[in-house]
Structure 1
Amino acid sequence: MATRHEITKKFAREYARANRAEKGAMLDALVETTGWTRDHARRAIRVAAARKGAARDVQRRPRPKKYSYDALIVLQEVWRLSGQPSGKYLAAVMDDTLERLVRFGELGKVAPRVRPEVLDELRSMSAATIDRYLKPHKDAAYPSALSGTKPSHILRSSIPTRTSMDEPITVPGFLELDTVAHCGHTLKGEFLRTLTATDPLTGWTMLRSIRNNAFLHVHGALEWITAQAPVPVAGVDFDNGSEFINWGVIAWCDDHDIPVTRARPYQHNDNAHVEQRNGDWVRKHAFRYRYETEAELALLNDLWALVMARKNHLLPCVKATGWTTTKAGRKKRIYDPPRTPYQRLLDAGVLDEKIRSRLETEHAALNPAKVTRAINKIQNQLIDLAAARTRGTRPAA
């Protein structure tokens, strides 16, 4: 063991100065000498380098930036105007987004920097590079929210369960449903809720805010969703909340010949698609404030119309297609290339001509920057209303 420590100490000094090819040769030699696996040899070199007397004082020359400062500034503006997506999704729609922003003249704020070579730089950026360049400008700090789901024992035993281990959905129109409580810091009293419906196959998602979880309001949201869905609803899946597992909702599904399934209690991965939309669509855009009034209800539904236009038409998503195994023997998910829900609907070939024509017209008219400005305007109104409520309930000094 002492000999191995000496060998790794020697390699650590050279490893810090070596290039990629030289590092690979050193690892091969160390593996052959010690009998370690390649991963263990790499870890041993890192440990040796961290010990006193190794290569702690050796610093590699920083890699020069590949992209210009102008490209970074324009990238920040494109990212902001397109709704602040992750690099994986922004890279997938970079060509389309740049074409729209240039066509609608929305890059005027950075117009002096928008040159053909700068646009070419943006188109050539990888997803990882986009994330690395935008890291200082991303705000990923969202506090945890309260849950308004109350387990319902009514009808539970008669509704079949659908788990994350079941066969994947292969037909568009199957919807995962869930509600988000806009309760702020307390579940006391009455507050607004948003019903989220997402198609796991295409990613197409619909949002509708309602007064509360009474059947009257849930029924109205379900009627709206079935009317707005681009394809007929082929089935619904929800959690064990009492807003769904009740005689009224089950009877409504029976009247519409819609099969019903439910997730297992406390197993959020069973309906992971709608849970992801709750965070990325609802919480990210409506924040975690408390909303109660009719004015806030109208604002939320106006906001969802814009969010649905941006997310369904302009921003891509990925879909898990299987599993693979890494070199270390660990299971790893495989995803398909990022595509927008709109593109996935077209690829499915299930749209009738009337709906297809309507969606194509809506898609062609979308201006990413205009949509973002409208979303920001409504968000500012919601912030002002939430702040006014806070001031109104603050105790007097």
Structure 2
Amino acid sequence: MPDKDVSLATRVEITKKYAEAYEAASKKDKSRILDKVVEITGWNRDHARQQLRRRLRQPPGRATATVAVIDRRKNPGSKYSYDCLKILQRVWAVAGGICGKYLAASMVDWLDAMEATGDLVYGQDRYSQHVRDELLTISAATIDRHLKPLRDQDPIRGKSATKPGALLRNSISVRKAGDEIEAEPGFFEVDTVAHCGPTLKGEFARTVNFTDMYTGWVFTTAIRNNSQTHIVSAFEKFLEAVPFMVTGIDSDNGSEFINHEVLGWSAQKKIFYTRSRPYQKNDQATIESKNNHLVRRYGFYYRYDTPHQRELLNQLWPLVCDRLNYYTPTKKPIGYTTDAVGRRKRVYDKPLSPYHRLLAAGVLSPAQEAELAAYKASLNVVEIARKITSIQHRLIENAKEPTRRLERELEYAAAAAMPDAEWIKIDQRRARSA
């Protein structure tokens, strides 16, 4: 058995003593030397072998070592310049904090747009042709690694406000997860997101969110509540804002969508209307994803129940939609494959922005394409980012403290209604933990 009292300095001297003999020994003798070193030092064979080999690499004439050779991975330093990483942070902030895979795929668009607005100028503020070349070659994983310290914490969570609407449900076609994907733009999924904070009581704003299944094109607007009048008004705004023909809409089973007003509107506009299955989130996976990284990411989880807060939301959503539609890539599922152990795995296409997907679909006339291209060229992405940040700060200032206060009131009410036996159990748990 190895001596547990062998000091680190003794282990160092032992590796120095046996290192040269180990290097010159045959395979059989190397095994014997390793056995001896392991027996004396208590190391495992792999570590003992590393120490013997690395001891020989020490510079000649070095003073007597007093510590063991530490096995560390070599770090050659960053491949990218400091200027490149600083500009990367600026581009990422303007892009809305998107992931590395999407940022790498759209880097050319963001750099061109920021150069056009004068935010990036060669020879100023660390930006140069060399930095641009570095940014165009940086990988998605490297982007995520360098930007990880800058990512924000998730805000408070919200609640689900979907209530099934039995009226007319059986007369609407059901669209399920796994159904054939639409072959051209125009079929949208729609959902509402409740800005209720910690409770569904009272009146609060809702955001109506539309997403095209084929291109990922989004339209978002805030309404006062879930009444049929406001929902139909949001549908009208959506139809006017989308730059291509809307052929169909798919909703969940909420009563705000399954009613005579909405179905009468879709029939009048000759828009095919379908619904998902009750309690099956996967049937609307696209819009559920957008609810998270569009509405919740930009609008947070606070309670918005005043006209001023609703007005701020409606100033925010057009800016967010422009940035997502014209510059932010998305990826779409195109099939399945198997991984190394035979498990089924989703396959996605190359990330592209909804704007580029729409152009590639070939459904627009040359005049429409020119109009969209001119509108994209008129967008100042740096100004959009600045306005988004400003509106978000104003939303937080207006809603954060009232939402926290409402949370505390609910906690106090729940505590007051708690039976004495429950309080006794809580006190006992606190005493045990102390």
TM-score w.r.t. the length of structure 2 is 0.75
Q: In the TM superposition, what whole-angstrom CA distance separates every residue of 1:15-59 from its partner, at most 9, and x where no partner exists?
A: xxxxxxxxxxxxxxxxxxxxxxxxxxxxxxxxxxxxx83657743
> Which residue does the alignment assign to 1:53?
44
Q: Could you say which residue in structure 1 is the equivalent of 2:52?
A: none
Give, in angstroms, the shift of residue 102 of structure 1.
Answer: 2.2
Corresponding residue number in structure 1 for 2:224 = 211
Aligned partner letter, 2:44: G
Matched, 1:345 2:336: no
Correspondent of 2:206 among 168, 178, 193 = 193
Among 311, 319, 331, the residue aligned to 2:324: 311
Whether 1:65 aligns to 2:56 is: no
Letter in 1 for 2:91: V
Unaligned runs of 5+ in 2: 1-42, 48-69, 410-434
**Larger Rg computed on CA atoms:** 2
User: Counterpart of 1:29?
Assistant: none
Aligned-pair CA distance for 1:106: 1.4
2: CA distance between counterparts of 1:384 and 1:303? 15
TM-superposed deviation, 1:236: 0.8
Rounded to whole Å, the distance in 1 between the matches of 2:159 and 2:183 is 33
CA drift at 1:212: 0.5
CA distance in 2 between partners of 1:365 and 1:95 (Å): 17
Which one-letter code corresponds to 2:152 in the other structure? D
1:337 CA displacement = 0.9
1:126 alignment partner in structure 2: 139
1:146 aligns to 2:159 (yes or no): yes
- Residue 252 of structure 1 corresponds to 265
* Residue identity matched to 1:186: T
Of 262, 265, 277, the residue aligned with 2:275 is: 262
Which residue does the alignment assign to 1:293?
306
The within-5 A match list for 1:367-382 is 367-382=380-395
Q: Amino acid of the residue matched to residue 159 of structure 1?
A: I
- Matching residue within 398, 403, 407 for 1:385: 398
Q: CA RMSD in A?
A: 2.1
1:254 Cα offset (Å)? 1.5
**Aligned partners of 2:303 and 2:403 also within 8 Å:** no
**Which residue of structure 2 lines up, in the alignment, with residue 324 of structure 1?**
337
Q: What is the letter of the counterpart of residue 264 of structure 2?
A: A
Structure 1: tracts of 5 or more residues without a match: 1-51
Shift, 1:291, TM fit: 0.7
Instruction: Assess, with a 3 A threshold, how the Cα gap between structure 1 residues 388 and 141 changes in structure 2: closer, same or farther.
Output: closer
Query: Which residue, 93, 98, 116 being the options, matches 1:85?
Result: 98
Deviation by residue 1:4-23 (Cα, 9 ceiling, x = unmatched): xxxxxxxxxxxxxxxxxxxx
The AA in structure 2 aligned to 1:301 is N
Report the number of matched residues. Answer: 344
Distance of aligned partners of 1:254 and 1:68 in 2 relative to their CA distance in 1, 3 Å threshold: same
- Counterpart-to-counterpart distance in 2, 1:147 and 1:135: 30
| Mapping for residues 91-130 of structure 1, pairs under 5 Å | 91-107=104-120, 111-130=124-143
Amino acid at match of 1:195: V
Q: In 1, Cα distance between the equivalents of 2:311 and 2:139?
A: 39
Aligned-partner SS, 1:221: helix
> Counterpart amino acid of 2:108?
D
Alignment correspondent of 1:160:
173
SS in 2 for 1:223: helix
Q: State the distance in 2 between where 1:377 and 1:111 align.
A: 26
Question: What is the aligned partner in structure 2 of residue 221 from structure 1?
Answer: 234
Q: Which residue of 1 aligns with 2:378?
A: 365
- Measured in 2, the distance between the counterparts of 1:55 and 1:243 equals 66
Deviations 1:331-371 (A, max 9, x none): 11111111111111111111234543332111011122111
Instruction: Give the Cα–Cα distance (whole angstroms) in 1 for the partners of residues 367 and 202 of structure 2.
Output: 44
Q: Which moves more between the two structures, 112-121 or 124-133?
A: 112-121
Aligned-partner Cα distance in 2 for 1:288–1:222 = 24
Equivalent of 1:236 in 237, 243, 249: 249
Match of 2:136, as an amino acid? R
Q: Provide closer, same or farther for how the CA distance between residues 277 and 354 of structure 1 changes in structure 2, counting only shifts above 3 A.
A: same
CA distance in 2, matches of 1:355, 1:183: 39
**Which whole-Å CA distance do the structure 1 matches of 2:342 and 2:325 have between them?**
36
- Please tell me the residue identity of whatever aligns with 1:178: D
Could you say which residue in structure 2 is the equivalent of 1:137?
A: 150
Q: Deviations over 1:249-303 (max 9, x none)?
A: 1121122221111111221111111111111111111111111122222211111
CA distance in 1 between partners of 2:370 and 2:112 (Å)? 22
The CA deviation string for residues 218-241 of structure 1, in whole angstroms up to 9 with x for no partner, is 010011111112222111111111
Q: Which residue of 2 aligns with 1:276?
A: 289
**1:211 Cα deviation after fit:** 0.7
Taking only the aligned residue pairs, the percentage that are identical comes to: 46
Separation of aligned partners in 2, 1:338 and 1:104: 25
State the alpha-carbon separation in 2 of the partners of residues 230 and 103 from structure 1.
24
SS of the aligned residue for 1:113 comes to: coil
Indicate how the Cα distance of structure 1 residues 372 and 162 shifts in structure 2: closer, same or farther if over 3 A, else same: same
- What is the match of residue 47 of structure 1? none
**Corresponding residue for residue 38 of structure 1:** none
1:152 is displaced (CA, Å) by 1.6
